[in-house]
Amino acid sequence: MLGFLSARQTGLEDPLRLRRAESTRRVLGLELNKDRDIERIHGSGVNTLDIEPVEARYMLSGGSDGVIVLYDLENSSRQPYYTCKAVCSVGRNHPDVHKYSVETVQWYPHDTGMFTSSSFDKTLKVWDTNTLQTADIFNFEETVYSHHMSPVATKHCLVAVGTRGPKVQLCDLKSGSCSHILQGHRQEILAVSWSPRCEYILATASADSRVKLWDVRRASGCLFTLDQHNGKKSQAVESANTAHNGKVNGLCFTSDGLHLLTVGTDNRMRLWNSSNGENTLVNYGKVCNDSRKALKFTVSNGCSSEFVFVPYGSTIAVYTIYSGEQITMLKGHYKSVDCCVFQSHFQELYSGSRDCNILAWVPSLYEPVPDNDEPTTKSQLNPAFEDAWSSSDEEG
């Protein structure tokens, strides 16, 4: 650390590199926060979480009970032990409450004054945060599994919606109608995600074992279908042109949008080049996934070595994205975890589970001390940590 600080002070080191190294150190030290509770409101499992990108202060949660809760994550009391209180909620007595399980909640990317939610009740609702009333409601013929708004779009207001039907629906918030449909999948659409790099690129995952990337400006739509074999197997092979050997129920772009992560019920996670659809063949080992619906996992942002956080039974597995190494397992829930979200401002992680709880994972304030009295050598350090701090000895 002193090496980084002195190098930065003398102008020999990019300040961004110090920030990335410190962010990496903090992610590697994530642990369950014993000083902070998240007020328990949901009467059944928590399916989805989202932190608004403007201040990273307010968090939405959606549950199997149809309830939506808005939390303030800031410690306004300035006390060491505190509870993140619910600012407001769309409870069972609210006139516009979802009838069935809320599967996805998402803040409007540019303003905290609006958010969206979708549910098994076949609706996508647009909410006014200040009044907690619906500004618009989109009705579908099929159960809604997931939806997503582009985090970078400036030229369109499209919401991609995945339903029990094989068609991806694009809803325009400006016109209040379904603008067009993307056809190509054969079974239900379990997950959708817009690229954080290009506002017109959309990835969709289906129970038909396929993942497709689309350019919504094109008439034909589909750019390519991901192939786990990179085209090396005959088209006659059953698994040809499939991303997984089971349902694909999770999608997540890396923060720079250059790669796409997918998870499937074949207990595998794969990393793809999002520009050409190539399987990078990174081996993450077995990634336990028995979820029958969308699995919401997340990635870090701003670290020297980026990480992916994946619900793994009642735990959360942390992997380095580009090497596939499992760093740790975060244990705290006592039932299956269905969602997690990363807060990049302070390198914090929040997770929601079927045990009705939301847990906060924060960087430890101290560095782990080895069990023995021997000094820690480089070979004993976590490889991801070692990479991030390799120059400190040379420049200190």
178 domain-assigned: yes
| Per-residue pLDDT at 307 | 98
**Is 377 within the bounds of a domain?**
no
Q: pLDDT tens across 122-156, in order?
A: 999 999 999 999 999 999 999 999 999 999 999 99
Instruction: Tell me, yes or no, whether 257 lies in a domain.
Output: yes
* Model confidence pLDDT, tens digit, residues 295-305: 999 999 999 89
Domain that holds residue 250: 14-363
Confidence (pLDDT) at 343: 95
Identify the CA nearest to 97 among candidates 49, 62, 73: 62
Q: Hey, what long-range contacts does 272-280 have (CB within 8 A, 24 or more apart)? A: 272/211, 272/226, 272/243, 274/195, 274/197, 274/201, 274/203, 274/213, 276/224, 277/213, 277/223, 277/224, 277/225, 277/226, 277/227, 278/230, 279/226, 279/227, 279/228, 279/229, 279/230
**Beta strands 86-90 and 82-84, pairing class:** unpaired
Any domain includes 384: no
Tens of pLDDT, residues 309-342: 999 999 999 999 999 999 999 999 999 999 999 9
- Answer yes or no: is 99 within a domain: yes
Q: Residue 184 maps to which CATH number?
A: 2.130.10.10
Q: How many domains does the chain have?
A: 1
Question: Does the residue 9 lie in any domain?
Answer: no
Task: Please check the confidence at residue 88 and state whether its pLDDT lies above 90.
Answer: yes
Instruction: Evaluate whether residue 222 is within a structural domain.
Output: yes
Query: Global pTM?
Result: 0.89
Q: Answer whether residue 387 is part of any domain.
A: no
* Token output for 197: 């790099």
Q: Would you say residue 381 has pLDDT above 80? A: no
